[in-house]
Chain A
Amino acid sequence: MQRIGVFVCHCGTNIAATVDVARVVEAAAKEPGVVHAEDYQYMCSEAGQLKIREAIKEKNLTGIVVCSCSPRMHENTFRQAAERAGINPYMVEIANIREHCSWIHKDIEEATEKAVILARAAIAKVTLNAPLQAGTSRVVKRALVIGGGIAGIQTALDIADAGYEVDIVEKTPSIGGRMSQLDKTFPTLDCSACILTPKMVEAAAHDKITIYTYSEVEKVSGFVGDFQVDIRKKARSVDMSKCTGCGVCQEKCPSKKTPNEFNRGLNNRSAIYTPFAQAIPNVPVIDRESCIKFKTGKCGVCAKVCQAGAIDYEQKDEIVTQNYGAIVVATGFDTIKLDKFDEYSYSTSPDVITSLELERIMNAAGPTKGHLERMSDHKAPKSMVFIQCVGSRCADKRGKSYCSKICCMYTAKHAMLIRDKYPDVEVTVFYIDVRTPGKNFDEFYRRAVEEYGVNYIKGQVGKVAEKGDKLLVQGVDLIDNKRILMETDMVVLATAIEPNPDVRKIATMLTASIDTNNFLTESHAKLRPVESPTAGIFLSGVCQGPKDIPETVAQAGAAAVKVVGLLAKDHLVTNPCVAKSDELLCNGCSSCEKVCPYGAISYEEREVNDHGIRETRRVANVNSALCQGCGACTVACPSGAMDLQGFSNRQILAEVDAICK
């Protein structure tokens, strides 16, 4: 028989103002099994906890109920207090009489009555509690970073510098990400490549970092401290150990008609290619869909010209399986598709481009070698129009409801750079709001206006139409309340950004939660911004929400610290509220196994002794280290063999009964 103590907290007046605490104590004392009941001003205080510890010792309590604030607040506090007094910490139940009672009800009679019922339910539950032992699980001292952009590189460098092994998995043939496509960066106008390339080189040279490019995460199992991950290394068709990166193969490749992804399709590339000159690794891949050899079997030019004999048409995808203690998601972003924004003529006119395309045009290594020109006739523009918020802040399905955050600043950057380099080009920016929170950001924008003479007009553009070899932009100036109809040579759209579409697949593999916009959800919006709610999964960069480079780098470092904090531990304490199967009731039907999100349930042939009948049965076995305690299996099980410790069928039914009494 349990000996239960009930402790009712006043929480100052937070509870006591609407709940008659004395009556709750009185009612609780009458419940079967309760041998002690008292109230106190602040149960969570050191003095309050002392009362609990003393009562446990004096009255030989086996379980306690604390009627106080939400268990999400102080469950741990009271569990520790119980443990210090020598009883199992899982013999503690909380009746939430603050958030769920005193704070939402005004009538003292009603609130007190409810508090008594909530106390009764907790007493009924704790009567059925059993001591649980938290286990431990190992921590693999290695981290995985998914995505090799600036976020992934920075996270990997910081983890590696702390002395832990890190693997970067990058889908494309080179690390570098979006930042490698940018020309200059705001607000200092550093050359993007000049600041990124050293980091790429550092990552590649770091003895603690292994980089898997042209690779994807294929399967993830396990849990915090010990994830098992399958990485698919796609066949590069080039032997990385032999290739010297001389580039002759790319020069000689006869297939040169594939849109160049790195240049956003503004020019073409060869079938064997490295995305850009500073690529890491500087080893090309053969794009098998474009390669003549793979399509027709005839060609083989690259193999013939390769002095190193590195070309390997027979190469196959390879699966690398590795264990990790922590995983960082750094999958980055892409710009949204503009096919639904007909009014801007993006799909019909080559002179209407996105800002990321402009980055490539402005870049010395880009399709125009850095000369500002129209893609239709390669003439230098005399005037340019920038349109902001294309697809951002959009309530309808065509775009995204959020602000993409970076566009105001990069548009100011583009406008400024163009006015600086080509002073005869008229630059007009149509904006809804110019948002420049950030150090030196507003000053930067003002310089664009005041020093460089960029013409900012408040008002979203209604329409862009082709008119001869010009573009006709129709808008309004909301300040002057005047119609604007202007002819221009080029239109640049500040296109909304969205998380990399692959992230949904990755989030599912990681069981990391994701919002309706496909941004990964952080564990707490303010206090745990780089952690996913799934233990051991961390977030770095735009996969979590729009951000610029400095913010990304800061978050990458923060994620790295969290990873290091985890990897520094030798063991983790596991949640003991896990599923447990009664082998005598188990039918072996596999229903539980099918609904388990963690693959924690396996089946084995086991000899059981069912009341004297010895036989070998197929029974479920729960790996308590993998189980996270959701309880899906307990309901899938028709015979009731599967139960959840800490939230058992009988415990919950006891609560139901107490509430409905």
Chain B
Amino acid sequence: MQVEKTQVFRPKIVAFCCNWCSYAGADLAGSSRLAYPADVKIIRVPCSCRVNPMFILRAFQRGADGVILCGCHPGDCHYTTGNYYARRRMTLLFSMLDYLGVENGRTRVEWVSAAEGVKFSTTMNEFVAKIHSLGENVRLGDLRCKND
């Protein structure tokens, strides 16, 4: 009898991390050997306020299953106010995506300080688990890319 090999769902997850807190938090998670799934790929940005909604939509357009943005805790921004603007922008953008019928679990913002390696790792584990429960992102995928 032939056993059919089932395709395991390997989500594509983009994590934008600010250079000063969250990227350092991810480094700490690494040096503390706190595991999280390899599906998470980090893009370093100077500050959470550098993240343009275009980047997030583009990720989804190119087939990402989840996008997470990590920055310094409110009040701790290296540039003082960057994460406050990021917070408003992402709140409105995520609300809009939700309004368009995209599962709101596919987007997340988390504040992770340079000292919070544990939080970084748990956040990523949680987020990946959430994406697994939601499955492949069919609603925002760019059909054009998938057909070729």
A–B direct contact (CB < 8 Å): yes
Closest CB in chain A relative to B57 CB, distance in Å: 10
Taking A631-B46, A635-B85 as contacts, is the C-beta distance between A118 and B55 under 8 angstroms? no
Taking a contact as CB atoms under 8 Å apart, the answer to whether A660 and B64 are in contact is yes
Taking a contact as CB atoms under 8 Å apart, the answer to whether B42 and A72 are in contact is no
Taking a contact as CB atoms under 8 Å apart, the answer to whether B31 and A99 are in contact is yes
Taking a contact as CB atoms under 8 Å apart, the answer to whether A113 and B46 are in contact is no
A96 at the interface (CB under 8 A from B): yes
Residues on the B chain within 8 Å of A597, using CB: 79-82
A521 to B114, CA, bound (A): 12
Closest CB in chain B relative to A70 CB, distance in Å: 5
A229 at the interface (CB under 8 A from B): no
Residues on the B chain within 8 Å of A513, using CB: 72, 75-78, 80
A118 to B50, CA, bound (A): 20
Closest CB in chain B relative to A431 CB, distance in Å: 31
Taking a contact as CB atoms under 8 Å apart, the answer to whether B52 and A103 are in contact is no
Closest to B13 in A: A659
Closest CB in chain A relative to B40 CB, distance in Å: 8
B139 at the interface (CB under 8 A from A): no
A-binding segment of B19-27, B94-102, B104-112, B128-136: B19-27
A516 to B115, CA, bound (A): 15
Closest to B29 in A: A104
Residues on the A chain within 8 Å of B51, using CB: 635
A114 at the interface (CB under 8 A from B): yes
User: When each residue 107-145 of chain B gets 1 if its CB lies under 8 Å from chain A and 0 otherwise, what string results?
Assistant: 000000000000001000000000000000000000000
Which residues of A (574-630) have their CB < 8 Å from a CB of B?
577, 595, 597, 628-630
Which residues of B (39-57) have their CB < 8 Å from a CB of A?
41-47, 49-55
Number of residues in B with C-beta < 8 Å to the partner? 47
A656 at the interface (CB under 8 A from B): yes
A121 to B41, CA, bound (A): 10
User: When each residue 4-24 of chain B gets 1 if its CB lies under 8 Å from chain A and 0 otherwise, what string results?
Assistant: 000000001010000110011
Closest to A102 in B: B30
Closest CB in chain B relative to A123 CB, distance in Å: 14
Q: Which of B44, B58, B79 contacts A656 (CB 8 A)?
A: B58
A516 to B73, CA, bound (A): 10
Residues on the B chain within 8 Å of A660, using CB: 12, 14, 59, 62-64
Residues on the B chain within 8 Å of A508, using CB: 80
A660 to B43, CA, bound (A): 12
Taking a contact as CB atoms under 8 Å apart, the answer to whether B14 and A656 are in contact is yes
Which residues of B (67-94) have their CB < 8 Å from a CB of A?
72, 75-82, 85, 89
A511 at the interface (CB under 8 A from B): yes
Closest to B67 in A: A656
Q: Which of B31, B45, B53 contacts A652 (CB 8 A)?
A: B45
Closest to A516 in B: B75
Closest CB in chain B relative to A241 CB, distance in Å: 40
Taking a contact as CB atoms under 8 Å apart, the answer to whether B43 and A121 are in contact is yes
A319 at the interface (CB under 8 A from B): no
Taking a contact as CB atoms under 8 Å apart, the answer to whether A649 and B54 are in contact is yes
A515 to B113, CA, bound (A): 11
Taking A70-B30, A597-B81 as contacts, is the C-beta distance between A635 and B36 under 8 angstroms? no
Residues on the B chain within 8 Å of A104, using CB: 29-30, 33-36, 121
A129 at the interface (CB under 8 A from B): no
A104 to B15, CA, bound (A): 16
Closest to B80 in A: A511
Closest to A629 in B: B46
A649 to B34, CA, bound (A): 31
Taking a contact as CB atoms under 8 Å apart, the answer to whether B23 and A72 are in contact is yes
Most buried by B among A98, A101, A521, A656: A656
A95 to B41, CA, bound (A): 11
A652 to B24, CA, bound (A): 19
Residues on the B chain within 8 Å of A631, using CB: 45-47, 49-50, 82
Closest to A105 in B: B38
Most buried by B among A110, A514, A659: A659
Closest to A660 in B: B62
A647 at the interface (CB under 8 A from B): yes
A630 to B51, CA, bound (A): 10
Taking A632-B85, A655-B43 as contacts, is the C-beta distance between A99 and B14 under 8 angstroms? no
Residues on the B chain within 8 Å of A515, using CB: 76
Closest to A635 in B: B52
A98 to B31, CA, bound (A): 9
Closest to B35 in A: A104
Taking a contact as CB atoms under 8 Å apart, the answer to whether B46 and A630 are in contact is yes
Residues on the B chain within 8 Å of A117, using CB: 41
Residues on the A chain within 8 Å of B14, using CB: 656, 659-660
A300 at the interface (CB under 8 A from B): no
Residues on the A chain within 8 Å of B77, using CB: 513
Q: Which of A105, A107, A113, A659 contacts B43 (CB 8 A)?
A: A659
Taking a contact as CB atoms under 8 Å apart, the answer to whether B78 and A514 are in contact is no
A421 at the interface (CB under 8 A from B): no
User: When each residue 281-318 of chain A gets 1 if its CB lies under 8 Å from chain B and 0 otherwise, what string results?
Assistant: 00000000000000000000000000000000000000
User: When each residue 109-139 of chain A gets 1 if its CB lies under 8 Å from chain B and 0 otherwise, what string results?
Assistant: 0110110011001000000000000000000
A652 to B67, CA, bound (A): 14
Most buried by B among A118, A121, A597: A597
Q: Which of A101, A595, A634 contacts B38 (CB 8 A)?
A: A101
A251 to B52, CA, bound (A): 66
A103 to B26, CA, bound (A): 11
Residues on the B chain within 8 Å of A103, using CB: 30-31, 33
Taking a contact as CB atoms under 8 Å apart, the answer to whether A630 and B33 are in contact is no
Q: Which of A72, A106, A533, A656 contacts B78 (CB 8 A)?
A: A533
Most buried by B among A113, A121, A521, A631: A631
Can you give 21 contacting A-B residue pairs, CB < 8 Å? A70-B27, A96-B27, A98-B30, A99-B30, A100-B27, A100-B42, A113-B38, A114-B38, A114-B41, A513-B78, A515-B76, A533-B20, A597-B81, A630-B78, A634-B52, A635-B89, A644-B46, A647-B45, A656-B62, A656-B64, A657-B58
In the complex, besides A632-B79, A653-B55, A659-B12, 4 extra interface pairs with C-beta distance below 8 angstroms are: A96-B44, A118-B41, A649-B54, A655-B43
The 3 residue pairs across chains A and B that have the minimum distance between CB atoms? A99-B30, A631-B50, A630-B79
B interface list, Cβ under 8 A from A: 12, 14, 19-20, 23-24, 26-27, 29-31, 33-36, 38, 41-47, 49-55, 58-59, 62-64, 72, 75-82, 85, 89, 121
